[in-house]
Amino acid sequence: MPELPIPSYDDILAASDRISGYAHITPVLTSRTINEFTGGEIYFKCENFQRAGAFKFRGACNSVFSLTDEEAAKGVATHSSGNHGQALALAARLRGIPAYIVMPENSPRVKVNAVKGYGAEVTFCESNQQARESTLHKIVEKSGATFIHPYDHFNVIAGQGTCALELLNQQQDLDAVFAPVGGGGLLSGTSITAKERPDAVMVFGAEPEKADDAYQSLKSGTLQRFDTTQTIADGLRTTLSERTFAIIQNYTDDIFTVGEQEIVDAMRLIWERMKIIIEPSCSVPVAALLNGRFDCSGKKIGVILTGGNVDLDHLPWQ
């Protein structure tokens, strides 16, 4: 198998330049309470305030604005039941090109409306991976649109790497950066940024115990693939790709896992004490820090809060 291209730190710098003016520079917040609870100084990079509500906009935006004019004219396409679909739809609108989003027919109405609200064309399919891929394939065949994979994509990974870049520029004395891991796009970009900078820092992933494919892959040294719908952290149900696994194996210091109740408790703590809305997926690294998976004492730690798109009618503690 040929080696898959992997973004360099320079590619991440270029991505940062490319998305500048489109993506928000999101704030970094702190909480006395959470510092007391963990014993460290925790710096939260608030991608829940990013456009379209999640860090996914960075990768989508970098991908859309990396296309040639000829490619761009035919549009972009993806399958997504989550934040990547909204992010790609918004990025396409900003470039003024078509976006084709394949969504499972049981997607929450609020997500479908958000994608449509950005002007994308939504095609529904059955709720399984095969239906998603075959539906997408037909659309790409017909339109000539470029498929932008949610995470197994050079420009998406480079775009996601801009988040840690921004964080490390905003708070220059961090000892480590934590990110959740689902398909591994964010953790890959974060890891490249963290390790390829002149002032390299430690980088850790956090994953639900019930979807611990990345943890198992890292420990066993071979890619473990098992999709699950069991964890409440719905953004982290996907598995690594060959490419994101290779990057994480090479660059990431370790991955920690946490239980479902720890995830819900950490999410609620952030809501109650920081007064910000984060998705369950965001709270996975927070849960790892709150529950002693990593000794924070005396350390300055960046945590990427990945998104804030939550169904307010169905909260996990209800």
* CA R_g for the chain: 18
Q: Specify the residue, 15 or 278, whose C-beta has the smaller distance to a second copy.
A: 278
The piece of 121-129, 169-177, 228-236, 274-282 that touches a second copy (CB under 8 A) is 274-282
Q: Which helix (H) or strand (E) holds 121?
A: strand 121-125
Q: Specify the residue, 1 or 312, whose C-beta has the smaller distance to a second copy.
A: 312
Contact status: 318 vs a second copy (CB under 8 A): yes
What whole-number distance in Å separates Cα of residue 84 and Cα of residue 240?
A: 16
Cβ atoms of residues 228 and 258 within 8 Å: no
Work out how close the CB of 271 gets to a second copy at its nearest, in angstroms, rounded to a whole number. 6
Contact status: 276 vs a second copy (CB under 8 A): yes
Cβ atoms of residues 214 and 205 within 8 Å: yes
Q: How many Cβ atoms sit within 10 Å of the Cβ of residue 292? A: 11
Q: Tell me which of 37, 44, 49, 251 binds a second copy, using CB under 8 A.
A: 49
Contact status: 116 vs a second copy (CB under 8 A): no
Cβ atoms of residues 58 and 167 within 8 Å: no
Work out how close the CB of 155 gets to a second copy at its nearest, in angstroms, rounded to a whole number. 25
Work out how close the CB of 118 gets to a second copy at its nearest, in angstroms, rounded to a whole number. 12
Work out how close the CB of 99 gets to a second copy at its nearest, in angstroms, rounded to a whole number. 19
Cβ atoms of residues 31 and 272 within 8 Å: no
Q: Phi, psi at residue 269, to the nearest 5°?
A: -60, -45
Q: Tell me which of 74, 268, 299, 300 binds a second copy, using CB under 8 A.
A: 268
Q: Which helix (H) or strand (E) holds 164?
A: helix 154-170
Return the ∠ at Cα 311 (arms to 167 and 36), rounded to 5°.
Answer: 45
Q: Tell me which of 5, 10, 25, 27 binds a second copy, using CB under 8 A.
A: 27
Q: Specify the residue, 75 or 85, whose C-beta has the smaller distance to a second copy.
A: 85
Contact status: 315 vs a second copy (CB under 8 A): yes
The footprint of a second copy on this chain (CB under 8 A) covers a number of residues equal to 19
CA dist list (Å): 224 to 119, 152, 188, 230, 245 = 37, 16, 17, 17, 9
Work out how close the CB of 143 gets to a second copy at its nearest, in angstroms, rounded to a whole number. 29
Task: Give, to the nearest 10 degrees, the angle between helix 154-170 and helix 185-196.
Answer: 50
Q: Specify the residue, 240 or 267, whose C-beta has the smaller distance to a second copy.
A: 267
Instruction: Kindly state the tokens that stand for 43.
Output: 């710096």
Work out how close the CB of 243 gets to a second copy at its nearest, in angstroms, rounded to a whole number. 30
Q: Specify the residue, 110 or 200, whose C-beta has the smaller distance to a second copy.
A: 110
Work out how close the CB of 164 gets to a second copy at its nearest, in angstroms, rounded to a whole number. 20
Contact status: 119 vs a second copy (CB under 8 A): no
Pairing of strands 99-104, 76-79: parallel
Contact status: 146 vs a second copy (CB under 8 A): no
Contact status: 308 vs a second copy (CB under 8 A): yes
What whole-number distance in Å separates Cα of residue 177 and Cα of residue 124?
A: 37
**Three-state DSSP state, 34:** helix
Q: Specify the residue, 19 or 136, whose C-beta has the smaller distance to a second copy.
A: 19
What whole-number distance in Å separates Cα of residue 183 and Cα of residue 103?
A: 18
Question: Which residues are at the interface with a second copy (CB under 8 A)?
Answer: 27, 29, 48-49, 53, 268, 271-272, 274-278, 308, 312-313, 315, 317-318
